[in-house]
Structure 1
Amino acid sequence: MPPSSSPTALITGSARRIGAEIARHLHSEGYRVIIHCRHSRDEGEALVASLNQTRPDSASSIQADLSDMPQVSVLSEQITAEFGDIHLLVNNASSFYPTPLGESSQQQWDNLINSNLRAAYFLTQSLSPGLIRNNGAVVNLVDVHSQRGLPDYPIYSIAKAGVEMMVKVLAKDLAPNVRINGVSPGPILWPEAEAALSDAAKDEIMKKTPLRRSGNPKDIADAVYFLAHAPFITGQVLAVDGGRSLFS
């Protein structure tokens, strides 16, 4: 991609769902966006094509498995080589599936911890020199279950608790040049495939959500953009959950 005066944002896991909405919103606000995906390459390339129709040479895609540390290293090197110093890192990519204590495995532990937490940490580490030079920002996608663990999802809950602590610790380490904050979604999009919830489980979640409805991806995208441009906010996690976090 040729040099540009537009700020550059890397959004991990942004080919679809919430990540894609974050990418679209940042793009609409003038960012060059780097769409990262793991398996959803076709969706990622379609999103890039759509964004480039709106503004030529303003979006690119990149593929990597964030549960694989060598690929994380290659990804950060490729980002720097192709795009230079970025201005905003959005650690959105996440794996989510049940791991009941009596049935969970070390492989599941490695996959969930690595994809949710380790990759976000080491991407932030490797891209931080450029973020520092740009007085940039990092926004991590956390989860309401980082503080109140989800039954039968202990490894995921532990990983997201680590992501929240990463916000608080790295806000000190990256200050004063880089701000790092988090967005903690509540019921926005229901999980897919093996992580899918029963209708009864969905009803229970709605009963414990004061606004009595689900949010939508735009709510999260708006919050990410706000934190990316809030010059005196760092080390904070903003709950965008319809009040869900008020309940245990």
Structure 2
Amino acid sequence: MTTIDNMLSHDLNDKVVLITGGAQRVGAMTARLLHAAGANILLHYRNSRKPALALQAELNALRHNSVILIQADLLDTAKLKSLVDKGIEQWGRLDILINNASSFYQTPMGTVTESDWDDLIGSNMKAPFFLSQTAAPHLAKQQGCIINIVDIHAERPMEGHSVYNMAKAGLAMLVKTLAYELGPNIRVNGVAPGAIMWPAQEMDDITKQRIVSRTYLKRKGSAEDIARTVLFLAANADYITGQIIAVDGGRSLYL
């Protein structure tokens, strides 16, 4: 019989999690929270070596040899297998894949280059697909799961971000398609952030206020809000697959 204690536990002891783009922002907070739940972390980064090393040292100080790093350009599809292989070599298993890495910048119509297209579609849709395909046999052995970090703009386009909007829409469909293709042995879900962290590009205060005003909670969320939702899907959602949870303060309901 399932007890209340079991229902509320976030036990990821000995499970192995691969997080792409895990060195900073939402990825780093997700790594911290899943690590605190007992998981071993394979932390991917592309250019953020210094924060990746700092996060690894922070978490390994809490639990020895529980975080390893791997640097890779996810647009180089041939190297995706090395991410999965490193986790298998280190811990002999892979339980959870979190497709978090994402390029994000404006691409107003009339200015889009093929390079913009390749980068945004590649990081947000192509790499998650091929990494999921590579990881699937190992995840299936553990009855594991895939969690994609999507975006509320997969459904409601953001002005000036045409390619990003399309890429995230593709990632959202990837959640549903892989849930169909990989069930019953692998669950696949997504988390769609709204106003969580302001982008690295400058954003004026008026724009920020306008975004917050369009949430029903009238406040910006945090990286921890996303990380807690990822933890729920990883540890406490055994009968949920093919779903995308919007963590946006109600903004996606705004008309």
Report the TM range for the smaller structure's normalisation: over 0.9
* Aligned residue in 2 for 1:210: 216
Q: What TM-score do you get using the length of structure 1 for normalisation?
A: 0.94
Correspondent of 1:147 among 134, 137, 155: 155
* Aligned residue in 2 for 1:184: 192
* Aligned residue in 2 for 1:226: 232
Equivalent-residue separation in structure 2 for 1:19 and 1:212 (angstroms):
24
Q: 1:81, CA displacement in angstroms?
A: 3.6
- SS in structure 1 at match of 2:230: helix
* Aligned residue in 2 for 1:128: 136
- SS in structure 2 at match of 1:109: helix
* Aligned residue in 2 for 1:244: 251
Cα distance per residue 1:80-132 (max 9 Å; x no partner): 34443200000000000000011011110000000111110111000100000
Map residues 23-172 of structure 1 onto 2, 5 A cutoff.
Answer: 23-172=31-180
Cα distance per residue 1:185-230 (max 9 Å; x no partner): 000100003xx32222212111211111100111001000101121
- SS in structure 1 at match of 2:115: helix
Q: Decide which moves more: 75-84 or 37-46.
A: 75-84
- SS in structure 2 at match of 1:215: coil
Residue pair 2:146, 2:188 contacting (<8 A) in 1 also:
yes
Q: What TM-score do you get using the length of structure 2 for normalisation?
A: 0.92
Equivalent-residue separation in structure 1 for 2:63 and 2:90 (angstroms):
19
Q: 1:61, CA displacement in angstroms?
A: 0.9
- Which segments of 5 or more consecutive residues in structure 2 lack a partner in the other structure? 1-12
Equivalent-residue separation in structure 2 for 1:73 and 1:105 (angstroms):
29
Q: 1:50, CA displacement in angstroms?
A: 0.7
- SS in structure 1 at match of 2:146: strand
Map residues 6-21 of structure 1 onto 2, 5 A cutoff.
Answer: 6-21=14-29
Percent of aligned pairs with the same amino acid? 45
- SS in structure 2 at match of 1:66: coil
Q: 1:70, CA displacement in angstroms?
A: 2.5
- SS in structure 1 at match of 2:217: coil
- SS in structure 2 at match of 1:181: strand
Equivalent-residue separation in structure 2 for 1:80 and 1:123 (angstroms):
14
Q: Detail structure 1 runs of 4+ shifted over 4 Å in the superposition.
A: none
Equivalent residue letter for 1:36: H
Equivalent-residue separation in structure 2 for 1:84 and 1:123 (angstroms):
18
Q: 1:77, CA displacement in angstroms?
A: 3.7
Equivalent-residue separation in structure 1 for 2:162 and 2:248 (angstroms):
20
Q: 1:68, CA displacement in angstroms?
A: 2.2
Q: Decide which moves more: 65-74 or 53-62.
A: 65-74
